Structures are given as structure tokens and as C-alpha cells.
Amino acid sequence: MKAVVQRVKNASVTVGGETVGAIEGGLLVLLGVEPDDGPEDIAYIVKKTAGLRIFEDAEGKMNLSALDKGLKVLLVSQFTLLGDARKGFRPSFSNAAPPSVAIPLYEETAAKLREVIPTETGIFGADMQVALVNDGPVTILLDSRRSY
């Protein structure tokens, strides 16, 4: 699994003109699922997301997590994170899990996050409009395979 974690002042997901998920302060997490992801990948992403110390403490140092601050997560599926654009100009998405694999893993990730921190979601596979106000900006890349 790959994730882009952004510290936000607010974020929302709209589908067909209707807001389906929104947070005021916290983390926007864009999540890409790979074909051979499983429970260990979910556990890694959940633990890292909830525990990332990217919020300022009283001294202005990034030393607190969203969990520490009582904030929320907005989780959005995004298969394009797994796009490979090393050759040519059209990305290949062969590294992205097909919906039959990705949907249950995405839903399980959302469920596991909700056990730890309040979590809103988008709608898997929908044409989503994501709005956000970056805070900082602070953006962290996560990879459950730890390639970066």
C-alpha cells in the first residue's frame, strides 16, 4: 500500500454534488492498494497514519499526532498513486489492485483506522472531487513495503 498523508486545516470529498466525507483539521490520506497487499500492509498504514507526529506542540515542534490532538482522518482511495510513468507519457496502472481486491482492503483499512481515530471516507471508484486546505504544507509519503 502506498499513501500520501497531508496535514490539513480542512478537507472534503464530494460525489455528484453531495459531500460524502469531510473533516475540520487532521489528515487527508490518499490510499493506493497493490495486488498483493494484505493485513500487514493495512496494520502498517493504520499505525503510521494515526501515529505520525506532524502536528506542532506548545514549543512549535512537530511532535504530536492527529490522535494526540483529537483530530480526524479523511481516507480517499486513489489507484493513480500506483501509476508508473517511467516510460512514455501515459502511466501504466498495472501495479494497482483490481477493484475485487482493492475494495475489501480499502474498506478494512477504513475500519481499522476507525478503531483508532475518527475517520471519514470517500466512495471507492466514484468520480470524487477532493477539496483541501493544506496546513504547512506538510505532506508525507508512506509505503507499507518501506521502499521509501
Tens digits of per-residue pLDDT, 75-113? 999 999 999 999 999 999 999 999 999 999 999 999 999
Please tell me the distance from the alpha carbon of residue 111 to that of residue 46, in angstroms, as a whole number: 10
Q: Is residue 74 part of a domain?
A: yes
Q: Is residue 120 part of a domain?
A: yes
- In terms of Cα–Cα distance, which of 140, 143, 123, 138 is closest to 9? 138
- Which SS3 state, helix, strand or coil, does residue 88 take? coil
- In terms of Cα–Cα distance, which of 122, 146, 142, 147 is closest to 50? 142
For position 81, what pLDDT does the model report? 96
Q: Is residue 79 part of a domain?
A: yes
Segments forming the whole domain that contains residue 46: 2-143
Q: Is residue 134 part of a domain?
A: yes
Q: Among residues 78, 109, 119, 121, which one is catalytic?
A: 78
For position 77, what pLDDT does the model report? 97
- 99-116 vs 39-51: helix axis angle to the nearest 10? 40
Which CATH number goes with the domain that contains 86?
Answer: 3.50.80.10
78 catalytic? Reply is yes
Q: Is the peptide bond before 91 cis (omega within 30 degrees of 0)?
A: no
For position 147, what pLDDT does the model report? 86
Q: Is residue 112 part of a domain?
A: yes
Q: Is residue 90 part of a domain?
A: yes
Q: Is residue 92 part of a domain?
A: yes
Query: How many independent structural domains does the chain possess?
Result: 1
- Cβ(14)–Cβ(132) under 8 Å? no
Q: Which pTM value belongs to this model?
A: 0.96
The low-confidence residues of the chain, meaning pLDDT below 50, are: none
**Strand 18-32 to strand 72-77: parallel, antiparallel, or no bridges (unpaired)?**
parallel
Q: Among residues 79, 119, 121, 124, which one is catalytic?
A: 79
Q: Is residue 148 part of a domain?
A: no
List CB contacts of 84: < 8 A, sequence separation 6 or more.
91, 92, 93, 94, 95
80 catalytic? Reply is yes
129 catalytic? Reply is no
- Cβ(50)–Cβ(67) under 8 Å? yes
